[in-house]
Chain A
Amino acid sequence: MKLIATGKQILLFLIFLFTASVLSAQGLSLTAELSDDQVWLGDSVQLMLYLQGSEEAISPELNIPGVNVEPLGGTVRSSRSVTSINGKVTEDIRKAYVCSYRLTPTSPGRIVIPSIEVNVEGQTLKSSQAVLAVREPAASDDFSLELEFDRNAVYIDERVYLKIGFFYGQSLRTLELSIPGLEGLNYESMPVDDERERYEILINGNPVIFGRDDKGNFAGLSALISIRPEMAGQILLQRSTASFESVSGYKRVQDFFGRIQNQEVYSRTVIPGNTTVVDVLPFPKFDQPEDFFGLSGDIDIDVVVTPQEVHIGDPITLTLNINKMNNPDVAIPPLGRYLGGGIDIPDTRASAAINGSTKTITQTIRISEDWVTEIPTITFPYFDPDAEKYKNASSAAVPLTVLETKIVTSAELEGVSQTGDPTGKVLLERKKEGIYHNYTGKKLLQDSIPVIERLQSSFLIKFLLLVPPAAFIAVLILTRIRPHIRRRASARIDKHRDLRKLKKQWKKVDFSNVHDVLKLFNRQVSVYLERWGLPDDDKLIHVLEALEAAVYGRVEIEPLQAQELTAEILILLDEGVKDAE
């Protein structure tokens, strides 16, 4: 009965554990949150998408009308906690992934952030809608943002300068400018004079250096931006705003010593800028040369050729510098058409180098005819926007001295370097940059231990190291020690056998003919001792001397004495065998 009760308790406990582990499985959910539900036009807010229950990286593409969306990336935000209650340890892992976006409204009013959908682990998750109120900035007497182009119209690729001025009559901080329309343009900020104080201000999120530029009673900051328009049309800058925190009042606070002081209270203010526009004119069609390829500026060209004394087929390096280009990115056509016949030019050439408004093209060429005496003049048509007409820029001809003929191979024409290998194979050189690829697959799931630990604890290694010497010892025992032991054991048996035989032979002997009997006994003992050696026994030596005296010394001896002598010698020999063992 007691056993059944205990069993029930265990069952209930296990059911609880089982249920708890199932319940702890987290559900998937997606939440969208705005960092602020109100924003000034020109300012931006952050939208964060919280994915709970999974660490899968999500980055849905957002298209919200009236809002510029910039993805800011995502990160894993999982948490793990371990609790111990009455000895029961519970681990709680909460998986989460967060990705965020910067939203910059482009028009005032109420903007609805629609429900966002993502597919995670086979499920479609939806966030709830959010609403963002966009307030239009109002002009202020204390602050102004002024934008001004230095001219009304420019040609494509001709630089136009935009002066941005911000003027203020009150303290402010965290100034940022938003100039919609500037993002897609090719622009750069011009350096500020050394004598002016410099400030770094963000324009559309990018830092630009401003210099101090006061105007009347207002303090001011200004920057000059150079814009190179790449398409005909209009550059219209409107709805520009300056966003900053300005003093909106004061509050009374008590300092450490109890003194009452006025402390400034800042609030966010956004003011609008003026609208400004510049027309971008296309290159005129009238009088446009047929081979015009988009070059503009106040172009001049120079050509450098090395060496100027060459054999036919020798490589020559031609360096072409095109200076004072409005747009150095303009693609230069292949040089073949400008150089004429007798000069081989490979299809490929090194990429051009750009330094400021100069473009440098380096081309390897080869002379293929002996009548070539110079690198001819290279002429490019270009448009001069200041003169508003097309012109030609030409390089000077470069004289060449062409020596005896040399056979030019196709590989040389292509500019491929040759090795000394007569087979014409190209020796590849290993680059020393970069890293090898990542591993994937099951290899990453296998648990492992450090090699040294693995080898130290490896039975196989120990086996392979210990078995050869063990085998050697076994062979040594079998080939050397065992035969020796066997020989020794066999000798001991033979010795016993010889002694036993001797003793048996002399057990019942007639000693009536004493002398002859002792002589025979002496011979047999001598044979035995010769084979097995004389034991180190003084008593035995003494009796053996007595035997020799009786045999060879003609000493008279009674038969009974002779019998006792032989018996004593046999006993001493037996003792000698036992002592030796």
Chain B
Amino acid sequence: MRNRVIFSIISVLILINIAASLQAEDDGVEVLLENAEKAFRKGNELLDINPEQAAESYRAAVVFYESVISGGTVNAALYYNTANCYLRLEKIGYAILNYRRALLYDPFDRQIRYNLDYARDLQKNDFESRAENEILRILFFWHYLIPFGWKTIVLISANLIFWTAFILQQIGLRLRNTLIIPLIILIAFGVSLGFDIRSSEIEYGVITADSTIGRLGDSLSYESAFDAPLYEGVEFKIKQRRVGWILAELPDGALVWFEEDDCGIVEE
């Protein structure tokens, strides 16, 4: 009897403690978000009349949003809001970095894509696209233009149509021509998705420092790869990482080393 009482008390205490800590955690996140929204709104109100205070408010909003993210709550909307704050602070690099992170979580969102394109327009560096890239973009336009989620939907639909038509043909209906179109779509989108999944294993980065020097090697003693610095917002593929340095493939195919502190990694 005594044991049962002790265990009952223990159970109740455990439950109260867990419930209290969970509630505190939820409340904490909600308070941080509320503060972030307030600070962002205040920034918007002050932007025209007192830009310095507006910037202070945007910075506070960033701190709140990033606190929520570092606390473990992660989603597209949080990254998107953080990116908007950075864009208001004219931190193009951090804005692009966070928009790209948001797209990982919701590639369908039109607002994220619109704002990302806008941030990219503000980026100062321009790169010549490689000729082979242009040809590939024209030949396999669906691979480059259609987001991953839509491709999945098209693949599933084509898969369903193709096999249904194939089954109907087995039963006796003559559907030879009907089979060809879904089969082509199935192959085209299947291969495209395969590439997407493979490229999702590639890490991407963005220059977040105001400007940085791209070097030929992983030390400050190496020569600069360009005659001018690269500005914030330049996006690149990460080919290799060494202590404090990143080997990046730029949009024009050039390979350069950046100091890790000057860059942000999209996939974290």
Contacts and interface: CB of A to CB of B under 8 A. Distances in A.
Contacts of B164: 468
A541 to B, nearest CB: 43
B149 interface: yes
Contact of B148 (A10, A451, A479): A451
Contact of A468 (B7, B35, B73, B162): B162
A428 interface: no
Interface in A446-474: 446-452, 455-456, 461, 464-465, 468-469, 471-472
Nearest to B16: A18
B154 to A, nearest CB: 12
Contacts of B219: none
Contact of A472 (B39, B57, B76, B163): B163
B64 interface: yes
A450 B77 contact: no
Given A451-B104, A468-B159, A21 B20 contact: yes
Contacts of A425: none
B84 A438 contact: yes
A435 interface: yes
Given A445-B73, A447-B74, A452-B104, A472 B170 contact: yes
A475 interface: yes
B156 A57 contact: no
A440 B37 contact: yes
Interface string A359-384: 00000000000000000000000000
B163 A451 contact: no
B7 A7 contact: yes
Contacts of B31: 55-56
B52 interface: yes
A396 interface: no
Contacts of B2: 4
Contacts of B149: 451, 455
B29 interface: yes
B115 interface: yes
A74 B60 contact: yes
B140 interface: no
A448 to B, nearest CB: 4
Contact of A445 (B33, B119, B160): B33
A57 B42 contact: yes
Chain B: interface size category: 35 or more
A439 interface: yes
A75 B166 CA distance: 65
Interface string B70-102: 001111111011001001000000000000000
Given A76-B63, A439-B80, A18 B75 contact: no
Contacts of B30: 445
Contacts, number: 149
B115 A435 contact: yes
Nearest to B7: A7
Contacts of B121: 432
Contacts of A440: 37
Given A11-B10, A17-B17, A71-B53, A435 B118 contact: yes
A451 B29 contact: no
A556 B30 CA distance: 113
Contacts of B20: 21-22
Given A76-B60, A76-B64, A438-B81, A57 B35 contact: yes
B75 A73 contact: no
Nearest to A75: B60
Contacts of A480: 170
Contacts of A387: none
A7 B104 contact: no
Given A439-B80, A444-B81, A75 B10 contact: no
Scoring A74, A432, A436 by chain B CB atoms within 10 A of each residue's CB, the highest score goes to A436
A476 interface: yes
A433 B162 CA distance: 44
A3 interface: yes
Interface in B1-23: 2-3, 6-7, 9-10, 13-14, 16-17, 20-21
Given A4-B2, A75-B56, A464 B156 contact: yes
A331 B64 CA distance: 45
A116 to B, nearest CB: 19
A468 B165 CA distance: 10
B156 A444 contact: no
Contacts of A465: 155-156, 159
A404 to B, nearest CB: 47
A8 interface: yes
B29 A445 contact: yes
Contacts of A472: 163, 166-167, 170
Interface of A: 3-4, 7-8, 10-11, 14-15, 17-18, 21-22, 55-57, 71, 73-76, 78, 432-440, 443-452, 455-456, 461, 464-465, 468-469, 471-472, 475-476, 479-480
Give 5 nearest A-B pairs by CB, closest first. A468-B163, A73-B56, A439-B77, A448-B75, A436-B111
17 contacts: A4-B6, A7-B6, A7-B10, A18-B16, A432-B118, A434-B118, A435-B87, A436-B84, A438-B81, A440-B37, A444-B81, A445-B30, A451-B106, A451-B149, A452-B196, A464-B160, A472-B170
